[in-house]
């Protein structure tokens, strides 16, 4: 994937993630032909997350694979997240099979599911409904070889990787998303600063003046999180963010925000808050962690964010700024 395409996809992912009212970028669930499938063609199952669908279709076409693609309604969530979160299940697959009259389009009862959906799909439920389940390779680019080898996977086809290239691709979409929500956040604080007066006014003014710096910080810190993700201590994205923020944020504050003590404290608090938000949210891009693990990180993030925001609000009162 080229840099331009990566940025385009990142922007699309971010827009979908924000879910502006009335904007639906998810794929309509249903049965889609890849190539010119017949009743003997394999049935592949995926989520209705538009990026997943786009990548699956693009890869299958490049591999010259002919198949039926059953797109399940996972509410626009990718395969492994929806499986872990209960949106990619055997019951939902059966519902989609009924809705599309799949049984009439094929003469067999075999489904090929993504390996990363195994955590949420009870194959026994599908077996009971007379559907045989096969979990395909982790990487969709291996599907052509998998089909040619009579649905036999090599060791490498079963291994999940979170390599540098995939992390950088994810950094782009993640940074775009965080950047896009920065402006509404700043505007929201500006609005709240009016009725709350002096309580929020200093922080609101600081955010407004330093919005360009914050955007640069988001992108620089976001890429550092992705690049250093495997070697930063701890599995927790929150704790990774604490470590990286503890190193980088004071350095940024010393270099750029020493005009006053209040300016320095507001910089430390705001950049540290963004650092832990960026790193915690990046957990969602890793295929290694489930919903429970990520939820714990978000609970830690919420507690830390409340403390930091209180400090940002009361600092001007204490300092007299």
Average pLDDT over residues 154-168: 81
Q: What pLDDT digit, counting tens, does each position of 297-319 carry?
A: 889 999 999 999 999 988 888 88
Lowest mean pLDDT among 17-31, 69-83, 223-237, 248-262: 17-31
Q: What is the mean pLDDT of the chain?
A: 85
Say if residue 287's pLDDT is above 70.
no
> What's the residue count for the chain?
321
pTM: 0.71
CATH 3.40.50.11600 domain residues, the chain: 23-158
Buried b (16+ CB within 10 A) or exposed e, 52-90: bbebbbebbeebebbbbbbbbbbebbbbbbbbbbebbbb
pLDDT at 320: 67
113 vs 18: which has the higher pLDDT: 113
φ and ψ of 165, to 5 deg = -60, -45
Distance in angstroms (rounded) separating the CA atoms of residues 70 and 72 = 6
Quickly state the pLDDT bin for 5 (edges 50, 70, 90): low
pLDDT at 251: 96
Tokens 């495997």 correspond to what residue? 230
Q: What pLDDT digit, counting tens, does each position of 93-108 carry?
A: 999 999 999 999 999 9
Residue 114 token pair: 């993504």
pLDDT at 20: 42
Distance in angstroms (rounded) separating the CA atoms of residues 218 and 223 = 8
pLDDT at 256: 95
Tokens 């503890």 correspond to what residue? 246
User: Which CATH fold would you assign to the domain 23-158?
Assistant: Rossmann fold (3.40.50)
pLDDT at 23: 44
pLDDT at 196: 61
Residues 6+ apart with CB under 8 A from 22: none
């Amino acid at each position: 994937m080229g840099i331009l395409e990566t940025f385009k996809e990142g922007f699309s992912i971010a827009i979908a993630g924000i879910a502006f009212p009335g904007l639906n970028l998810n794929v309509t669930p249903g049965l889609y032909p890849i190539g010119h499938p017949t009743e003997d063609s394999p049935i592949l199952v995926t989520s209705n997350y538009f990026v997943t669908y786009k990548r699956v279709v693009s890869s299958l076409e490049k591999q010259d694979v002919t198949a039926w693609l059953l797109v399940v309604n996972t509410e626009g969530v990718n395969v492994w997240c929806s499986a872990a979160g209960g949106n990619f299940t055997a019951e939902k697959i059966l519902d989609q099979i009924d809705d599309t009259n799949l049984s009439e389009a094929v003469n067999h009862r075999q489904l090929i599911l993504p390996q990363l959906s195994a955590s949420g799909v009870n194959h026994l439920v599908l077996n009971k409904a007379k559907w045989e389940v096969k979990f395909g390779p982790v990487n969709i680019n291996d599907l052509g070889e998998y089909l040619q080898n009579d649905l036999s996977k090599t060791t490498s086809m079963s291994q999940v990787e979170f390599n540098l290239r995939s992390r950088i691709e994810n950094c782009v979409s993640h940074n775009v998303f965080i950047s896009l929500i920065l402006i509404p956040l700043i505007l929201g604080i500006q609005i709240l600063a009016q009725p709350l007066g002096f309580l929020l006014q200093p922080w609101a003014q600081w955010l407004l003046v330093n919005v360009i710096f914050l955007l640069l910080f988001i992108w620089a810190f976001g890429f550092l999180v992705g690049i250093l993700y495997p070697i930063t201590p701890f599995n927790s994205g929150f704790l990774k963010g604490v470590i990286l923020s503890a190193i980088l944020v004071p350095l940024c504050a010393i270099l750029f925000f020493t005009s006053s003590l209040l300016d320095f404290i507001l910089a430390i608090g705001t950049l540290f808050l963004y650092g832990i938000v960026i790193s915690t949210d990046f957990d969602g891009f890793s295929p290694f962690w489930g919903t429970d693990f990520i939820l714990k990180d978000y609970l830690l993030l919420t507690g830390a964010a409340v403390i930091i925001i209180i400090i940002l609000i009361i600092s001007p009162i204490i300092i007299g700024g």
